[in-house]
Structure 1
């Protein structure tokens, strides 16, 4: 049986307190907290989170948040995950001048105009508004042209919903789209054949149409380049994480942060 306090917390929602933060991080001073994972705790109130002035990495996903007011004081915040909450606006994030990566999938953002508050964040490069694998989205994503609208509103973005739209690698995504389109055109069934005729037209089973070979070759080449870049970035990230864990963890213990 769960303690009464836990049941009450589930019923009324949880508020962030200094005691909670110190318990989760082991830090005595709130301004010393650099990385914080508060995923799936039933949070409804960010409480004193704004006092964590040194915070750089924050995961608030899977809670019941409706506003982000206290985050306005987090000028060092670089990575923020607020996916799977109940947010209808992101206005407080306008003050998070160091923000580079924002995951806001699975909220209640209805129009691209609600992202106008992010226009002043010059370092913001990665934005996620939907995540098909996790079945998270926003109402604004039902418009097929929402990505173009978001890109126009926030021209500094390099990645939207995990897809690179500018910079190195963006050409590869475009090649993949072109390849998909050409394959769909080549394999579209024609008029229904008479019963005495073969049920598919000659050449139906050809793997690649001749006119698509140049696209395919270029896509394969750029895929190999992108894959190598991913391997290099993975190695660098692993080294950085190992150094961070060694610096942040007590002697003899390790910890991990998954975003």
Structure 2
């Protein structure tokens, strides 16, 4: 891996090497003194596909997965939509020795919490994500969500967080409700519909986008779905890393 932007001695072609997890954690450190900070981590092909056959793994790489693991390793909570939980087969994050000292120094739990945003709570509460988490899984929903499903979630050991007056959660209130629980380093992994909601609500602070050197054609979703914004919002480039043709970009709200 090498750094293309900002330009440093790590940009030199002859300095290409595998970065340690500590170096990646430093490169992706959350800003200090900003309060709640919501970053997204997504991957896209050159022609805009965010997945292939319903999953992101076919367009990813080993280094992309190291970045994925690093972003999880430094987050307080991973915010994800229920459909992505079902499609990607989410499991509880594990404690990783590489990040243990860093997390302890920051006052974080041993692993990030998974926060599932869902209106219907149509989830299998017998899965390890609920039965075997190191940190209790959060179910983020609205006040009018089905009462029997809320009861089932709580019976399974999940923590139900209300972040909306209707059946579903409201993006701004999701961020606020998690921050009130001390979860300010937030990472969303989508899916595209949830990311689109965060974008449209103006609460996305940072986008970590892996550009995969592949083309897929077809009708796969983009990284963000939903209605178009009235005016596109501009983000500024913060950094670019490169390895084997994959670009690991990071953009922040201007």
**TM-score, scaled to structure 1:** 0.33
Q: Computing the radius of gyration over CA atoms, which structure comes out larger, 1 or 2?
A: 1
Q: Which has the higher strand share?
A: 2
- Identify the structure with the greater helix proportion: 1
